[in-house]
Amino acid sequence: MTANQTNVHFERILYKKYEEVWQYQSVLQNELITKRRLAKAAGITDFRQEHHYILVCEHNPVYTLGKSGSMDHLLLTDEELAGNQIEFFKINRGGDITYHGPGQITAYPILDLEEFVTDVHLYVRNLEEVIIRTIADYDLHGFRIKDYTGVWLGEEGNLRKICAIGVHMSRWVTMHGLAFNVNTDLTYFDKIVPCGISEEDKSVTSLAAELGTEVDIDEVIMKMLDHFEDVYGFKVANKILSTHINT
């Protein structure tokens, strides 16, 4: 994709309530949709968004279930969720159930694809490519596998998913995105059927698990943003990690 150095505004959000971040994504998505709709109504044929957004978050423990997911894939009762202080939400992205929590990078691009390429399949493949390139910086070979969205490691009989992807799109403006396990506590995945995948030869992994040591998550974020720029052709306008939002 190319976008003539389209500007993308970066925000780092730490431990804000999941529902608030979800609502914030919707606000930003609707902002871009409204601006383009008004431009079209005014007959502006060369309209370009002032900027797009990418939110990079670490959440408190939460399970989210996508539109095509099954409640059977959540293996905890409401009481067990509350007792373990884990939130749960049914949300408007594609895909099944997954976990978000500390040590995991969630990246939510809010992009108007009319300034990139209006191709959902390509958009998702490029999200995968960002993470494939990021983990390559740590000498890990990530890849895609047939029928399963996301980024995988390993070999036949021992496939390990390091990044899950689920998106929502309205009028070609994106929200939701990817969940990249860096220093994630993987035991949380034991209480769900991750992404609805129950095959015994497929599991979940993290960058730390593959490397045998914890990783500087700020370093990983900067590498990931560099690869977002390369893959999508945009420019992150404020790539400074001090833009944290803490609650």
Catalytic sites, residue numbers: 195
- 8-state DSSP, 74: B
Please count the other Cβ atoms lying within 10 Å of the Cβ belonging to residue 126.
19
- Picking from 72, 76, 71, the residue whose alpha carbon sits closest to that of residue 61 is 76
Alpha-carbon span 85 to 162, nearest angstrom: 24
Q: Say which residues have a Cβ less than 8 Å from residue 93's Cβ, sequence separation at least 6.
A: 64, 66, 67, 166, 167, 168, 175, 176
**The pairing of beta strand 104-110 with beta strand 148-155:** unpaired
CB 87 within 8 A of CB 60: yes
Are 59 and 106 in contact by the 8 Å Cβ rule? The answer is: yes
Q: Count CB neighbours of 177 within 10 A.
A: 27
Radius of gyration, CA atoms only, the chain:
18
